[in-house]
Structure 1
Amino acid sequence: MEERIEKAVNGCYEAVIAPETWPDALHKLSRAVDAACTMFYPKDADKAALEKVPASHDYTDFLDHYIKHRWYEGHYRGERGWPLLSRGCVVIEHDLATDEERRRLRHYNELYLPFDFYGFAAVGYRVEGRIWAVSMLRYGSQGHFTRDDAVRLSGLKPHFARMTALSEKLAMRQASTGLDVLDRIGCPALLLDWRGAVARANTRAEALLGPDLAIRGGKLAAADRSSNNDLQALIRSLLARDVSLSTCLPGSALVRRLGKRPLLFEALPVAGLFADVFHRSRALLLVTDLDRQPLPDEVRLRLAFGLTPAESRLAVALAAGEGLKRAADSLGVSYETARAQLKSVFDKTDTRRQAELAALLGRAGSRV
């Protein structure tokens, strides 16, 4: 390995310990291999992953534009390149399109050329089953990557794989510390990875496993079929593209148990919670044992009958004996809004009178 490349690679290993230095380290690596910019790129990356993975400084403006305008959708480099990258190949632009074809390709002409990015190369590798690429771009003055360049870049593949694996291990260690903190404050919690598998569960969560809830093949599963469907739907929603702390509304699922009240699962994307720049950790599941911690009436109604928060607040007020006008005033909504909400509450709960709502609230306590 050339001395300048070796020095840049050592800087990247140092960035594993100090993630804030990744932009500088990858900038130096780019210069060492005669590239304009470099970034790590996981297969099937979503917006949250792309915003988080390490990238050099000169990638920043381009990457913001790339994400904002969803250029990752229908991208010829992804469609043609990932089958090669998944086999551990080093791919260059000439592997993906001819010179004549590039003159017509929208991504090349409308995305890359305005940023003066003419050349492309990517080094493919796997870490624990997940496919990764380190993507590099070149300015027009640098020209395209050649076959000789591809041979030189192939020598970096084991280093990129090791950097990724080490970063993921450190991030999981930090996440484990977070789970232990939740354990100490009495909160069962499980960490899910990018596949939806349980990466780690704290002691209180492990204590809830048994005939009603188990981990099978690395995945969380409920014995009750309906509960399991709800739980898997919740997990799938967290694995969807473009899920982040700012875009994901809190989700929940009830897992029913024989002879006990259900377990309430609430989900949260972990983007921004842990320093997982390689995005292995995907979601945090918080568990409430309703035998130990009963829910407020409002939450019980919302979970049991699918009421909105506003509808459940109105239902609780009416079940407590308040008239519709007084309930509307106390909740800060108009009488007409309250009437519309009440109609929806009656439809969802199959009731028609306040007395029925009051009785229903009592019954809901045994269901949730």
Structure 2
Amino acid sequence: MPEITLDDFNSLIHTVYEAGINPHKWSAFVGDLSGHLDDTLICLHAHDTVARASLGLLASGAAPEFIDSYVRDYATINVWANGMAIAPIGKLVQSEEIYDPDKLLKTEFYNDCLRSQSLVSASAVALHRSSDRMLFLSGNIRLRNHDLVRARVNRTFDLLGPHITRSFELMRHIPHQVEGEDYRATLETSTDAVLFIDRAGRITHCNRAGTAMRKDASFLAVDRDGHLHLKDPRADTTLRIALAAIARADFPAIPGSFPVRRAAGSPMRAMIVPLAHRTTQTMFDQIFEDLPIAMLVLRNQPTPQPSVAALPGYGLTPAESELAVAIAQGISLRDHADSRDVSIHTVRAQLKSVFAKTETRRQSQLAALILRH
């Protein structure tokens, strides 16, 4: 079974980021992904974790009547959904990790829902979670060629996960595109600073908040040729790496969100988002050298909260306790390290200690333990 080509993967990433700006594109993404993963039912779930009910489902690879019956009846008995409710955000989770396969065969969910579609397992990524709702992407795998398909689905989801979570973060903070309305106009209502950047690292356009940000000399500088320079050296290096990756259409190499510190004021959080139609050079790039290839989105970074005591009785240090709580909230190790201004190696060492003290082996197990307490 052939792997997804780099061109196909980049095409999927294009659609992911387009959907972050225009949510109507998520249907196209689900359809495109299904077309690349045979024998797999691709679903984008919106789920009420309290009522255990579907809030909506985008699916490709199943009959419409099956999708309707899932939303109406089967979502309430989906035994996998409970596990996804505590899964780390953006991380690949396999159905066997959240529900015993032998017990699954005895459930109403399997016998009434999965079995009719010859579905036997799933891989999924949690994309967003609030106190009572969650969003997750699942690849439900059919029995035929199961092992080969499963490996391919896992690799694809593992690569796509960070981009999808980043796109949903963009969608939550940037106003949605309105049909028939200039998208630049909608950006003006955002409190986030949005800067459009070309291949050379020059700012080509800003929204209102971005224009104000350009005047903050403690945060960034723009040279006489319009090139953007972040005053935080580490953040500026990350920005250069991201722009270079976008320019060569190497989407897996695009860094995730990153902190930007400044001499005065609270730190910011930055996210670099490729503009799908600008990543491949055309003849127009030879004429118009300032066509943007990326959006830099900047927002205030929440001030770290005081240490929270997690799992009393397990002997966790304050730093380990904070890390455990962050994992339960779906925060990545990298983001936690950045928010605490420590290295990723320090956080990984803390996690190893937490695993040993709590007798857990995975972040999902640790999150489940915290939520039970």
| Bucket of the pairwise TM-score, normalised by the shorter protein | 0.3 to 0.5
What TM-score does the superposition give when structure 1 sets the normalisation length? 0.39
TM-score, normalised on structure 2? 0.38
Of structures 1 and 2, the larger Rg is shown by 1
Considering Cα pairs closer than 8 Å and 6+ residues apart, tell me whether 1 or 2 has the greater RCO: 2
